[in-house]
Amino acid sequence: MSPPIRLSSPSALFLSLPLALGLSFGIASPALADAERGPADRGPADRGPADRLEADLRAFFAGEGTLEIGEVSSALLRSRVTAEDLRFESHDGERLSVEHYIVHGDYDRPDEVTLEGIRLEAFLDEPGVMSIEQVVLNDPGRAVPPRDEEALAEQWQGSLALSGLNLELDAGTVATLASLRLDGGLEDGNGGLWVETLALDLAKMIDMAPEEERTRLRMVSNVLTDGSGELQLDAVFRGEWQEGESHAVLLSDSEITLRDALRLVLDVELPLVLPEGAEPAELFDDSDLMEDATLLGGDIRLIIGDEGLFGRLATLGAAMGGVTEAQYLEQARTQAQGFGMMFGPQVQSILMGLVALLEGNASELEIAVGLPAESNLATYAGDPLGLPDKLSFNVQTR
């Protein structure tokens, strides 16, 4: 497998922003034509938005390779400055090109930064090509991203939209993404991530894996994709923070769909009190903060919807066990009843619901969990086997 991309290079920082949820890659930086005639040598009073954009882009990519910029222009009536045909090649041979880099609004505090026609080559120590039609960053805080990773996350990854991603390796196209939208700040009480049609060609990806791992990976792929080798995913993750006089409420609803396989829905409503001085926007960035919060009851609802996966799991389980599918299902039912005797009726109802999905007698399993009037995460982490006694469960199959 390819080694991880180093995110310390300016190029990697530059393009890590649209792929912060699961894809990682690297790019590099450039130095342009004649430094003696560059915009950085002009006095501040002589530098308009076009000169400043060129200078800032050169500074961002400085020392990492060679950069060429075709043209930089500004449109005063529409408060827009555009750099065209950026082409960068790093010392390591990575190549990045951007057809249009557009800054909208006040240069010092832009409303939006748009990158169009992004192409990244040779970034996985092999002849790979990643292309992105467009990335739009809303209220990014500055026209050109900071080189510091932490500052990048804070300023440039708060709100962005990406469309038309395509990843090609030697085997051909292995991944495409129709669109991704991120609203990462909870300062306004809302945030979320929306992923539309992430398509993975598992068959091609498995062909590139070490030979000794391919059989196991193909088995997993066949179960997930019904033998097609092509996996498609859609996902929505939304969060909301409601502030009250004595406590706040954290709301979230998420849905993940693996087409022709599985659908997962998770809804959470947690009234809670944060530690003194803590801000709601810090909740998702600091795991310790959630551990220190006091939970005032709450409800969690999980829905598992079968889109074809469970039937294939039953067939695979029977084949691996050397038994008929009916025998496998009978074994699963017996085991579920046995665990129920050990851990109680609430656990048994969940396991029997999963068996119903395997049997095809249900297409959806809903598990609703109620939390006690006052607790914290340590209440549950310290004694996981005691959870059924601390929580209330309502399990339904449909």
Q: Where are the alpha helices (DSSP H) in 23-148?
A: 49-61
| pLDDT for res 187 | 67
CA angle 259, 264, 337 (to 5 degrees): 115
Per-residue pLDDT tens, the chain, 398 aa: give them.
433 333 445 555 555 544 443 333 333 333 333 333 345 444 444 578 999 999 999 999 999 899 999 999 998 777 899 999 999 999 988 999 999 999 999 999 999 999 999 999 976 666 789 999 999 999 888 999 887 766 666 666 678 999 999 999 988 999 999 999 998 766 677 889 999 999 999 999 999 999 999 999 999 999 999 999 999 999 999 988 888 888 889 999 999 999 999 999 999 999 999 888 877 767 766 777 888 899 999 999 999 999 999 999 999 999 999 999 999 999 999 999 999 888 889 999 999 999 999 999 999 999 999 999 999 888 788 777 788 888 999 999 99
Q: How many residues are there in the chain?
A: 398
Alpha carbons 377 and 392: distance in angstroms, whole number? 16
Residue type, 130: M
Output the CA–CA distances (angstroms, integers) from residue 13 to 26, 127, 147, 160, 216, in the order listed.
Answer: 7, 21, 7, 15, 35
Q: Identify the residue whose tokens are 């996966």.
A: 309
Which of 252, 363, 248 minimizes the C-alpha distance to 300? 252
* CA–CA distance, 19 with 160 (Å, rounded to integer): 10
The span from the CA of 83 to the CA of 223, in Å, is 47
pLDDT for the residue 114: 97
**Given the DSSP bridges, would you call strands 299-306 and 392-397 parallel, antiparallel or unpaired?**
unpaired
Residue recorded with tokens 């990697």:
12
HSE, side-chain direction, 13 A CA sphere, residue 90: 22
Looking at the DSSP assignment, which residues form a beta bridge with residue 35?
A: none
Q: How far is CA 320 from CA 125, 236, 315, 325, 331, in A?
A: 38, 35, 9, 11, 13
Per-residue pLDDT, 27: 32
Give the integer Cα–Cα distance in Å for 241 and 270.
10
Strand ranges inside the chain, DSSP E? 65-75, 80-90, 95-104, 112-121, 129-138, 159-169, 172-183, 190-201, 230-243, 248-258, 262-273, 294-295, 299-306, 364-370, 392-397
DSSP letters, 65-79, are: EEEEEEEEEEEGGGT
On whether the CB atoms of residues 257 and 234 are closer than 8 A, the answer is yes
Nearest to 309 by CA among 256, 350, 347, 237: 256
Residue type, 375: S
- What is the Cα–Cα distance from 28 to 58, expressed in whole angstroms? 11
- Amino acid letter at 371? L
Cβ atoms of 84 and 100 closer than 8 Å: yes
pLDDT at 141: 86
**Lookup result for tokens 């930086």:** 29
CA proximity to 74, closest of 64, 66, 82: 82
How many Cβ atoms are within 10 Å of 205's Cβ, its own excluded? 17
pTM (2 decimals)?
A: 0.84
